[in-house]
Structure 1
Amino acid sequence: MTATETTPAHLSTPAHLSTEARFVPIQTRSERPTSFDPAEFGTPTGREVNWRLSDVKRLAPLFDDEETETGDEPGIAYDLGALEERGLLVESSGHDAAVRGEVFRPEDVVSAMAWKRCANALHIRLPEGRLVEEPIVARLRGTGADRHANAHIVIEAMPGSTGTVVLHHSGSAQYAQNLEIIVRDGARLTVISVQDWDDDAVHASAHQAVVGDGAFLKHMVISFGGAVARVNPSMRLAGHRAEGEMYGLSFADSGQHLESQVFMYHEGTDTRGDVLYKGALQGTGARSVWIGDVLIGNDATGTDSYEKNQNLVLTDGARADSIPNLEIKTGDIAGAGHASATGRFDDEQLFYLESRGIEEEEARRLVVIGFLMEIVQKVGVPEIEERLAEAIEEELRRGAGLAPATKAGA
């Protein structure tokens, strides 16, 4: 299938990556080319700017453009609860289905492959002017480490709507996923992606969101499981007074690679953005990668933006890469900044706790929990917050060599 055949008909100017562009070094995230055709990107080697810190070897099965089974995604079993009965699902058949592709443009070979291979999208829509009080939970369970699956998911918050959507990933699979998020004018949406995979799962996901006038989007990436979980979110604050918050939490164990390349684009006027990602690592070969890019556009006057990444390395043999970037194209802003910090336990915190009679092991546990709970408490859904706190405790037990308790998840 060609790129032209898989490009939505309702896109007036489909993205295209020229042959020359592939050989021009990409200096900033805003210059990154897009294409609906996987062949335009070629196979990643690990030398490309957006792949140089990734686990290309273990992600390699997702680069293969050979024909795979399509349709109902046999590699992933969907549990959508009663979403159809609640009127929250929309028919989305074919690549040219309405809304699909309104925001999304593949930025790498995996997202282009997922676009091409997934004929039908899962489309969740919050009705206009409606408050959906109960969180919308979609459970996606991998059916086997040797099963390959592709998905395109659309989450659309209609004008004036409010709600929370949770994507909970578990089981095992080789899974390429695109997530397209559209927050219409005046809507308020929270999207939480939980990576609770088995230890042999490989997951690469591209999230792309646009936020309209007076609208708000809270986007969260929570990664505990999987051999490799590469979740790259981008958010475009397109409308006047659009607001966006991007939060992330990861806990990498021995041999795990957990990665997020984050992009926030301030396009509209008087927009506000906040990015905060935190990670903990323990065990030989534990690896986390965070690359944060913020772009304040030419017309984005009145922007207020800040991004920060913090990592806590708990043992020898673990590695955290953290790269914040800030690109400003107008001087008329309210404020902008970025920060990054990676280190071990704070000796002063440990001394304070131990001086009050708390044993060293317990003191270390309290420090880690306190460090990560800042993100958990931003979820805003008590049930999910409780389960994530249990998952952190489980990771600490595993690091201490203790028997696992019951597995927690969203």
Structure 2
Amino acid sequence: MKKLLFIALLCCSAMAMAQKKKAVFIIIDGIPADLIEKLNTPTIKAIAGEGGFTPAYCGGEKGAYNETPTISAVGYNTVLTGTWVNKHNVWDNDIAEPNYRYYTIFRYLKEADPSKKIAIFSTWLDNRTKLAGDALPATGNIKFDYAFDGLELDTSHYPHDRNAEYIRKIDDTVSTVAGEYIKANGPDLSWVYLEHTDDMGHRYGDSKQYYDAIEAADGRIKKVWDAIQYRKKQFGEDWLIIVTTDHGRDPKSGHNHGGQSDREKLGWIATNAKNLNAEFKAGTASQADIMPAIARFMHMVVPKENAMEIDGTSFIGNISAIEPNAKPENGKIVVTWKAVTAKGNAKIWLSTTNNFKTGGKDDYKMVAEVPVSQQQVSIDVSKMPSQMYKIVIEAPDNILNRWVLVK
């Protein structure tokens, strides 16, 4: 009997190891966390019921080197790359000069395994062609295996009107196709983007029209959520879903965004992930955490030089430290972090170059190694004068980074 039980356990373990990892992230445009919590959003709450829900700030850190406009395309690219605007270089919706040196989650997946299938379902064509850089030499010529987007250009089927009714219809179609395609094909990584909520916010601010649009978006998310449930049941796949937003809204009326008010920065993350860590639970999560969380879930190998540039921290799985900071003080840089575990050491790396952004390599030197539990170290830089210092905290289970800009 014991032998049969042992064999059964081995079989179950082998099945779990073989379970295919699949992920989808959904961005619904322009909704602060207070409204997700306030309104009737049963799908989002069902997803969070399997994992969790947390506020997650947008727009970088107010007044810091990584302060980032709370504007749509800017936020999307932070979600895609795990970096703030000082790195990815998308400052507005014109997406003038994205820096493709900071890879998107799609590029990491395709470069690790070209056989993986990626898909996008989006109102806006630029999400694929400009942000993800579909089939561009600068992005390694990665190409989406399936794309359903650009419907805003189809004025025959979706004639434009003053009340943005056409955007509502497009979102209906996008979510329907996303649900059907994911159910039938199960791509490895998908992005679903829905716009109508932002349009209603701009037109009506905090209002019944805006609130109705948010609740309708929750119904559209259900189409994807139902498809995932089907795939899990029929094919035994392990699915991660993350639902988020790109920015909040102004605190006075709810019409606008772009600045650094608390409500404009008040994003959120809902996910079915089970092994949520301190980054998620401590109230320090940001939209930059989504990319590394997906990479962690899908067991993607991110090259170390790239990992040292990622601003977000995976909110899934084991991590050693959160909340990095670095401040100059009298010829020294005081580096701090909050330890999540007492195990292991933190290696502190420093570079006075920023060659990564132009395709080169930075000259990092390990300047200290201390127990993670020490939570701080002082680095003497009096003999390394520079206008910029890049600091990396390499802990056993995750990597954190900060910049110090000397005025």
TM-score by length of 1: 0.27
Greater strand share, 1 or 2? Answer: 1
Q: Between Structure 1 and Structure 2, whose CA radius of gyration is higher?
A: 2
TM-score by length of 2: 0.27
